[in-house]
Chain A
Amino acid sequence: METPCILVVDDDREIVKAISINLKNEGYRVAEAYDGMQALEAICSQDIHLILLDIMMPRLDGLSATMKIRQEKNIPIIILSAKSEDSDKILGLSMGADDYVTKPFNPMELMARVKSQLRRYMTLGDVNMKDKNNTVIRTGRLAFDTETRTLTADGSPVRLTATETKIVELLMKNMGRIFPAEEIYERVWGEVAYSVENTVMVHIRRIREKIEINPREPEYLKVVWGIGYKIEKI
């Protein structure tokens, strides 16, 4: 497989440079652009596998560029923006971006997200093949095979303990539904729940560290504060 080429677009050249260094360290090829128009030109002239795109840029802003790219190509787009409001994130994702990272970002987290998006993009064909079995429950980068009771993130298996697997299975099978700690405890441990919040939370946190890119800002396994826990359907 050829080395993936990643396009970094930001009007701040230092940021582009820093990201490029990190990406090159990870072994990727990097293309650079400093506004939306240059980004569109780069996509036409080169074979790009992923785009890191700023929003506030001269000439053509990131959201418009995303829309233009989505008209023709299915390349994964990660938006990098200083706009941290939920509404900004929702807008970016609805425009066709695959992920939204707020500035200032942790370089390691960004690398992890790049890796995740690339893996999904490159192995898309395999994933589709598996889906035909109807035994796989899928949300975003997570897939749980109910037959083998294994969880994969971006196609690679996640090693879970027996209890964790049970919790994941419960939440994956009822994706989107909120489970109070007591219910999780009773269904996973099979015992009467009494003061179990801590116990459940410990397991939830451990699972998060295994499946989430940034466990402190989980995308999938979420706490619904004051109610319970759920796995988000993405």
Chain B
Amino acid sequence: MDTKSRKSKAFKFWLCFFLGINIIGLCIIGGLAVLSSFELEMLGRDIKETQRFKHNMAVKFDTLARYITDRVETDNLHSSATAENSRIADMYLAELENEGENLIYFARNPKTNKVITNSAIDLGITTKGPISLPEEYDFYIYFNGEKFIGQKDGKPLDIYTDREYINTALRPYLESPNDYVVRSGDREIYYDIQDCQILLAVNKGIVGNPYGYSSLYDLQRQAGVVRWVLIGGFAVFAIGVGLLILSIIKRRYIKEFEYMLGKILGKIFFEFKVPVLLIGSLIILLTVQHFFQLSLVYTVLLAIASFWLLYIIRIDFRTNGVGVFTNNIISALIRKYKEFENRHPLQKALLLRFYTLAGLEVLLVVLTIIFLLMMVANREGSLFIFSVVFMALGVYLFYRYLRRYTNTVDDLGKIIDQAERIRQGDTSTKLQLSPDRDLFSLAENLNTIQDGITEAVERSIKSERMKVEFITNISHDLKTPLTSIISYVDLLMKEKELPLHVKDYIKILAQKSERLKILIQDLFDLSKVTSGEMEFEKKPIDLGKLIEQTLADLDDRISESQLKFKVNIPNSPVPIISDGNKLYRVFLNLFQNTLKYSLAGTRVYVDLVTDDKKATVTIKNIANYEMNFNEEEIIERFVRGDKARSSEGSGLGLAIAQSFTQSCGGDFDIEIDGDLFKVMLTFDIKSHKIIENDELK
């Protein structure tokens, strides 16, 4: 899923959460408001049993009573008042008229013989006997001149269930009239309705009157509205709960959005958050303190607002942690300064930093003093706060500078150590500095150099390996034809019928092919040892014995030569750790060289000298030719193609001797002094009894 749709998804689910909480909160207010109002009694009940309906009927009864008794307010006994009174009475009557079929009314005063009714039929009210109403009228209240009767569906009816009454006409005729109190705001007025008959009957079905206002119909309609409001309220509440549940199920997304929100919050400076926080906390505190004095709506709205405030604070702290405090204007300024600093080379940046700090410190000290002086001059204590703030800022900046300086010095030490490590050949240990450090780029450069070295070493190892492989293949390819040459030369040598000069030619062929064979093997060995591919089996051996053995091995050739070997080897063993076979090869090559290139009749000196730590072998001879080359060149002689190259051997003898010696753990030196040729080999003495104890077994 791509991040964009994921983000929008996170936002959508969070919106569910947000709306859910708000809706639930608001529904709680609404619910409480509905609960607190009397309209609730209209819910789910017959409208005719509600108190409002009964009150309505009582008012209507009063209207009839007032009309029938021609009651005049006692304190307004003059003609205009009478006229006004009768006008109001007519208006009320018109209201009754507007009810139409919904209502039957009847009133008669026997004293004045005044009758008022909307009923065409005789209701049997003439006598004091029971009344006869049409069947569809299930509700009536009736005063027969002596007694009040209220009935609904043939059952007696208590018209003042809330024990409050609004009119006075009926009170004297109710059972235990003193139980009732005057409804607040109403004036108590008496109507003398003794001997009058008053009837109000309501139809089963209340219908609207298209030509006038029916208060009964309006009541009924209101009841319906309350029902729908409640149903709607519950539905909205359910939606709110549903949204909340959905958001809880998908809280992974909510968390994501909260994290994004937290990131955004993290960018806001601490200084801006503080006032919001303070005001918010204050409001919450006041709300809690005055909880019972405030109206319900305010309380709940504040509760919701507090909830979101706490929620945001929580997210901020959870996402940014200490960052909430550290992301302030000062640190932002320091960051900006760092960006500015980064555009300069390090040495300049360090100086710049020092100057900036010095400048700022001076400025802050001056400001502190100014405010202190102002405080003293104006006797204004509150200015002291500014002094403290500037002073604290100065100390803080100095602390920051000092910390950074210490870190840089520390890092410098680490980098010096690292450079030393690299010098010693450690290319794997990396120096990791955090990117905001001054010396970060220097450390990174060192790491890059290390990588470069590692890469170069790997490449050279690889190329060496390829070289060895190449030489192995080449030597194989050279050996195969050489095998045929040697074999056929050998066959030729066995031929008896050949002329003498041809036999000479064949002899030369045999010699040269033999030399070629040695040359190939030596070349192969040399390339192997110089590339470090040759294996050395290092064991404790006696260097003196090895030289003696080598000389004994060459005894025939030595005694044949006209040279005198002066050998000086100590009687006690000279223990070293080395590869005997390879060292034999070294001394063999050296002695062969001596035999080849020494001036006839001269002495060859072979000395083995030891001290506590080193054993040195020196071979000295007088050359039988002019050595017009220096010490390095003689080893590379084969490459240079010197005139002193011999006709036998590979010419690689010295090079092999040097490489083998070094790989065996020794030093190899050559000195040329006129005609004196001197080879020196030095080995570490490893004192051991192992030769006697282990190796001889």
Which A residues lie at the B interface, using CB under 8 A? 12, 14-15, 18-19, 21-22, 25, 56, 82-84, 103-108, 177-181, 197-198, 200-202, 205, 223-228
- What are 5 pairs between A and B in contact, CB < 8 Å? A82-B480, A104-B479, A178-B696, A223-B553, A226-B578
B546-562: CB near A (< 8 Å → 1, else 0) gives: 10111111010000000
The answer, yes or no, to whether B543 is at the interface (CB within 8 Å) is yes
CA distance A223 to B545 in the complex (A): 11
Contacts beyond the supplied A84-B521, A103-B480: 20 A-B pairs with Cβ under 8 Å: A12-B480, A12-B484, A14-B488, A15-B480, A15-B484, A21-B491, A22-B487, A82-B476, A104-B513, A105-B486, A107-B487, A178-B696, A180-B696, A198-B548, A198-B555, A201-B549, A201-B552, A226-B584, A227-B545, A227-B580
| In-complex Cβ contact of A227 among B480, B482, B551, B695 (8 A) | B695
Contact A18 B488 (CB under 8 A): yes
Contact A22 B491 (CB under 8 A): yes
Contact B549 A225 (CB under 8 A): yes
The answer, yes or no, to whether B691 is at the interface (CB within 8 Å) is yes
CA distance A178 to B549 in the complex (A): 14
Contact A177 B696 (CB under 8 A): yes
B345 CB, nearest partner CB in chain A, Å: 58
Contact A227 B479 (CB under 8 A): no
Residues of A within 8 A of B41 (CB): none
Which of B475, B483, B696 has the largest number of chain A CB atoms within 10 A?
B483
Supposing A18-B491, A197-B548 touch, asked if A227 and B696 sit within 8 A by C-beta, the answer is yes
Contact B541 A103 (CB under 8 A): no
Contact B483 A103 (CB under 8 A): yes
Contact B550 A225 (CB under 8 A): yes
Residues of B within 8 A of A22 (CB): 487, 490-491
Residues of B within 8 A of A225 (CB): 541, 546, 549-550, 580-581, 583-584
**Closest residue of A by beta carbon distance from B581:** A225
CA distance A203 to B697 in the complex (A): 22
Residues of B within 8 A of A83 (CB): 476
The answer, yes or no, to whether B52 is at the interface (CB within 8 Å) is no
Contact B695 A107 (CB under 8 A): no
Supposing A108-B490, A224-B580 touch, asked if A202 and B552 sit within 8 A by C-beta, the answer is yes
Residues of A within 8 A of B543 (CB): 226
B316-334: CB near A (< 8 Å → 1, else 0) gives: 0000000000000000000
CA distance A233 to B489 in the complex (A): 36
A201 CB, nearest partner CB in chain B, Å: 3
Which residues 663-697 of B sit at the A interface, judged by CB distance below 8 A? Answer: 691, 695-697
B576-588: CB near A (< 8 Å → 1, else 0) gives: 0010110110000
Contact A226 B552 (CB under 8 A): no
CA distance A227 to B543 in the complex (A): 9
Residues of A within 8 A of B486 (CB): 104-107
Residues of B within 8 A of A197 (CB): 545, 548-549, 551-552
Contact B491 A177 (CB under 8 A): no
**Closest residue of B by beta carbon distance from A178:** B696
The answer, yes or no, to whether B542 is at the interface (CB within 8 Å) is yes
**Closest residue of B by beta carbon distance from A102:** B479
The answer, yes or no, to whether B517 is at the interface (CB within 8 Å) is yes
Is chain B's interface secondary structure helix, strand, loop, or mixed overall? Answer: helix
Residues of B within 8 A of A228 (CB): 545, 696
A62 CB, nearest partner CB in chain B, Å: 13
Residues of B within 8 A of A103 (CB): 479-480, 482-483
CA distance A83 to B517 in the complex (A): 13
**Closest residue of B by beta carbon distance from A226:** B541
B412 CB, nearest partner CB in chain A, Å: 52
A79 CB, nearest partner CB in chain B, Å: 14
What band does the interface of chain B fall in when counting residues whose beta carbon is under 8 Å from A?
A: 35 or more
Residues of A within 8 A of B485 (CB): 104
Is chain A's interface secondary structure helix, strand, loop, or mixed overall? Answer: mixed
B68 CB, nearest partner CB in chain A, Å: 136
Contact B487 A19 (CB under 8 A): yes
CA distance A197 to B555 in the complex (A): 11
**Closest residue of B by beta carbon distance from A204:** B552
Supposing A82-B480, A106-B486, A107-B486 touch, asked if A177 and B697 sit within 8 A by C-beta, the answer is yes
Which of B479, B480, B550 has the largest number of chain A CB atoms within 10 A?
B480
CA distance A68 to B485 in the complex (A): 31
CA distance A226 to B569 in the complex (A): 13
Contact A105 B580 (CB under 8 A): no
B488-524: CB near A (< 8 Å → 1, else 0) gives: 1011001000000000000000000100010001001
Residues of B within 8 A of A107 (CB): 486-487, 490-491
Residues of A within 8 A of B581 (CB): 225
Contact A180 B483 (CB under 8 A): no
Contact A104 B549 (CB under 8 A): no
Residues of A within 8 A of B578 (CB): 226
CA distance A15 to B580 in the complex (A): 36
Residues of A within 8 A of B480 (CB): 12, 15, 82, 103
Residues of A within 8 A of B494 (CB): 25
**Closest residue of B by beta carbon distance from A12:** B480
CA distance A84 to B525 in the complex (A): 10
Contact A14 B484 (CB under 8 A): yes
Contact A201 B553 (CB under 8 A): yes
**Closest residue of B by beta carbon distance from A176:** B697
B281-323: CB near A (< 8 Å → 1, else 0) gives: 0000000000000000000000000000000000000000000
Which of A82, A225, A226 has the largest number of chain B CB atoms within 10 A?
A226
Residues of A within 8 A of B476 (CB): 56, 82-83
**Closest residue of A by beta carbon distance from B578:** A226
Contact A15 B541 (CB under 8 A): no
Contact B483 A227 (CB under 8 A): no
A64 CB, nearest partner CB in chain B, Å: 18
Residues of A within 8 A of B555 (CB): 198, 201-202
Residues of B within 8 A of A21 (CB): 491
CA distance A228 to B692 in the complex (A): 11
| In-complex Cβ contact of B484 among A18, A200, A226 (8 A) | A18
**Closest residue of A by beta carbon distance from B587:** A225
CA distance A201 to B517 in the complex (A): 27
CA distance A84 to B486 in the complex (A): 17
CA distance A104 to B487 in the complex (A): 8
Residues of B within 8 A of A227 (CB): 541-542, 545, 580, 691, 695-696
Contact A223 B549 (CB under 8 A): yes
Supposing A180-B545, A202-B555 touch, asked if A226 and B583 sit within 8 A by C-beta, the answer is yes
Residues of B within 8 A of A223 (CB): 549, 553, 584
Residues of A within 8 A of B524 (CB): 84
CA distance A225 to B579 in the complex (A): 9
Which of B494, B543, B545, B555 has the largest number of chain A CB atoms within 10 A?
B545
CA distance A107 to B254 in the complex (A): 90
Supposing A21-B491, A104-B517, A227-B691 touch, asked if A198 and B482 sit within 8 A by C-beta, the answer is no
Residues of B within 8 A of A19 (CB): 487
**Closest residue of B by beta carbon distance from A205:** B553
Contact B487 A226 (CB under 8 A): no
Residues of A within 8 A of B546 (CB): 225-226
Contact A104 B483 (CB under 8 A): yes
Contact A178 B487 (CB under 8 A): no
Which of A104, A180, A205 has the largest number of chain B CB atoms within 10 A?
A104
CA distance A205 to B556 in the complex (A): 11
Contact B545 A226 (CB under 8 A): yes
CA distance A171 to B647 in the complex (A): 40
Residues of A within 8 A of B483 (CB): 12, 15, 82, 103-105
Residues of B within 8 A of A181 (CB): 545, 548-549
Residues of B within 8 A of A202 (CB): 552, 555
Supposing A82-B476, A225-B549 touch, asked if A178 and B695 sit within 8 A by C-beta, the answer is yes
